Every structure is written in structure tokens, then in C-alpha cells.
Amino acid sequence: MVEVLIVGAGPAGTTAALVLARAGVRVLVVDRARFPRDKLCGDTVNPGTLAWLRALRLDDRIERESLALDGMMVTSRSGQAVVSDYGRGIRGRALPRRLLDLVLLEAAAHAGARVEQGARATEAILEHGTTVRGASILARGRRTRIPARVTIAADGRRSTLAFSLGLARQPAAPRRWAIGMYMTDVAGLSARGEMHLRPGHYVGIAPLPGGLANVCLVVTPRPGFGDPGALLRATLSADPILSERFVAARAASPVSCLGPLAVDASCAGMPGLLLAGDAAGFIDPMTGDGLRFAVQGGVLAAQAALEVLEHGRTDAHVRLARRRAEAFAAKQRFNRTLRALIGTRAGLGLGQLAARLTPSLVRSFIRRAGDIDLAVHGAEKDTA
């Protein structure tokens, strides 16, 4: 019998699988996709995420396959730009999620996790209506029940398990969508991630290996949204600062679009089920730290699963919620505050004024978004 079933082989699921497999646990990871697969993302790995990947001894290949990011540049419509490097030799990385997620999946498999691709979880197996005991999986047209002592839902923002069990939902507001694509020949790229804040939307740009750029628009839907690619191109060409940089740019991938982005989770699971990564809630991509929550959340879920297996604990989801709050609550408050600030014209205007008067404030926001504290103090200590 599978001891731990993990649904979703994104960064949260594979990190949890890696930790459990290294501890000698019989773990099965299922994913509806086949890898390598694309995933709409800004493709930046912030310094805090990198500290976690280093703590898990996963950083070598990731560093080889990626570009170093010295820091971030944030601009406003008025042309004001604040550049902040992380400093002290601290860097983030940029690489396509197609590659990052494959590296993590291979590491989990190498550690001993069994991986089944093209296998979609359709529902949780419930015992007495209160305890999750595995999940039903649909693979190659066949439905199978996979019983497990612990199930980890790491199946992303639209988590089948968390939504169907009433543990997560999309809030009525904000309802933002992301539209992204890879491009070549974007002028003016540097060794920094970019965030261009505008009334009603923002554009993230990241340089990638091979002369590619990840270009991603986050917007609240309005007329014209019917063709996401047209909206992305129109936004770029109407932008007073960005338009010149995209004159020669060419598409290097199809356009991807997803949303609404925000997901609220009411808890960290229920008896027999633990949530990890975006399945446990997602605020907004602006701060570029979702991967840190996913990787660290995967470690925390794995630790909670080990407590069930070793000590028969039935309250692991409650303990996980407490640990997630200790690790994430302050940063999530920061993220929610920023999301609210840039969500209104008045808030954005206020932010621009503050940035003009005290650019150091924006620099400290950039460092906070980058989870620099983890890079400085080391990620392992965070779970001690």
C-alpha cells in the first residue's frame, strides 16, 4: 500500500515527495500532465526559494540551467524606475518552469518516489465522510482507487481535492487574470527581473537563457479580453515605457492565459489530507514568491505526513496549519497589502508618491518580496 499519495507534481508536490522518499517512505506522485510540461509563471526563482532548493541539495543543476538575477526593477507609468539589487552576493535565478519542474520531478524520482504521469485525481476517498484515505485516479481511460495513509493535495490553484472538499475557493475579488508568452528580441533586458506597475494592470518581464524573455501581463478583465494575445500586444505597444523595447520582439511560444488568480484556503487540510503549494491558497503573482511558498510548503507537508506515519497523529493538518502560519503569515500579510495597494488607482498613486519621496522604501519592498531573510539566515533554520 502507498503510505503517502501526492496529487500534483509541481514544485510543492515534488518537494514533498523528495523529503518523504529520502526518509524511506513509500510515496506515489500522480500528475495529470506529462513532463516536461509548460506552466504559465514569471519563471523567477527568488533568493529565498533558492535558499530552500540549496537546503534540499537541488540547487546545482538549477543554477547550471538558469540565468542569475541580481535584483529587481520596478517602474511606474510616469517613468519613475527604482532598481534594487539583493546585495551581499545574493542572487535569484530565472529559468522556464518547463525545466525547473522537470529537474524537481527527476530529483524526487531519483530519491525513490514513484511517479505516474497522465494520471488525474478525480475525487478523494472518504472514510466515514470525515477522513481522507487516498484518491480516485483516472489514467489511460481507467479509473483506479489508490488508498493511502496520507494524501497530500499539491494540485495547484484549482486543486480538485481542496475545492471538492470545500477547503478552498476563489474569492469574489480580486479577479485578476494572467496572460503570458515567451518572446525573443526584447530590447533592454538586464540581469534583473522587472515589474511594471500601471493603473489596472502590471507587466512582469524576466530574462531567460537563450535570449528569451518571459513576458506576463496581469489584468482585471475588461472589454477586449476575448483575445488574450491581442490584449497583451496592445498593452505593450500602448505603454509609454515598454513600447520601444518591443518594436522588434517576436513571439517564441503560444500565448497562455489563466485566472482568476486568487484562491483562499480555509485551512491546511483535514484528517488524512494535507495541503501544499497553491492548493493551500494563492494571493497574487506580483511578489514572485509563489515558488518559495510551494517548496517550503512541500517540506512542511512532508514533515506533517511523517508525524502521521511515525506517531499515528490524527491532527497533522492542525499542526501543519500552525507551522504554515508561523512560516508564512507575516509574508502573506505583506503580499495582501501590496495586492490591495496596486489594486486601486488611489493606492497605486499613493505608492508612487511614496516611491518618489523615499525610493529606499521600494528597495526594502523588493528585498522583502525576494525573501532575502531566508537567503541570509539559511532556509533550514526556518523549520527548526
**Residues interacting with ligand FAD, by CB under 6 A?**
7-13, 30-33, 39-44, 46, 49, 120-121, 154-156, 160, 178, 180, 216, 261, 277-279, 285, 288-292, 294
Please state the closest distance from residue 180 (CB atom) to ligand FAD, in A: 6
Q: Report the candidate in 311, 223, 327 with the shortest Cα–Cα distance to residue 276.
A: 327
> Least distance (Å) from ligand FAD to the CB of residue 261?
5
CB closer to ligand FAD, 82 vs 206: 206
Q: How far is the CB of 118 from ligand FAD (least distance, A)?
A: 9
Q: Give the nearer residue to ligand FAD in terms of CB position, either 132 or 384.
A: 132
| Closer residue to ligand FAD, CB minimum distance, 206 or 316 | 206
Distance (Å, whole) CA 379 – CA 373: 9
> Which lies closer to ligand FAD via its Cβ, residue 8 or residue 351?
8
**Residue 93 C-beta: closest distance to ligand FAD, Å:** 10
Check if the beta carbon of residue 19 is closer than 8 Å to that of residue 26. no
Minimum CB separation of residue 383 from ligand FAD in Å reads 18
- Phi, psi (degrees; rounded to nearest 5) at 86: -70, -30
To the nearest whole angstrom, how small is the minimum distance from the Cβ of residue 312 to ligand FAD?
A: 27
Burial of 226 (0-12, 13-18, 19+ CB in 10 A): exposed
State the Cα–Cα distance between residues 148 and 234, nearest whole angstrom.
49
Residue closer to ligand FAD, measured from CB, 252 or 291: 291
Nearer to ligand FAD, 175 or 356 (CB): 175
CB closer to ligand FAD out of 249 and 262 = 262
Instruction: Compare residues 294 and 355 and give the one whose CB is closer to ligand FAD.
Output: 294
CA angle 184, 190, 191 (to 5 degrees): 115
CB of 191 to ligand FAD, least distance (A): 15
Minimum Å distance from CB 353 to ligand FAD? 27
User: H/E/C letters for each residue in 100-168?
Assistant: HHHHHHHHHHHCCCEEEECEEEEEEEEECCCEEEEEEEEECCEEEEEEEEEEEECCCCCCHHHHHCCCE
Give the Å distances, CA to CA, from 272 to 153, 175, 314, 342: 11, 31, 7, 38
Give me the least distance between CB of 177 and ligand FAD, in Å please.
9
Work out how close the CB of 126 gets to ligand FAD at its nearest, in angstroms, rounded to a whole number.
16
Specify the residue, 239 or 284, whose C-beta has the smaller distance to ligand FAD: 284
CB–CB of 195/204 below 8 Å? yes
Of residues 76 and 287, the one with the C-beta less far from ligand FAD: 287
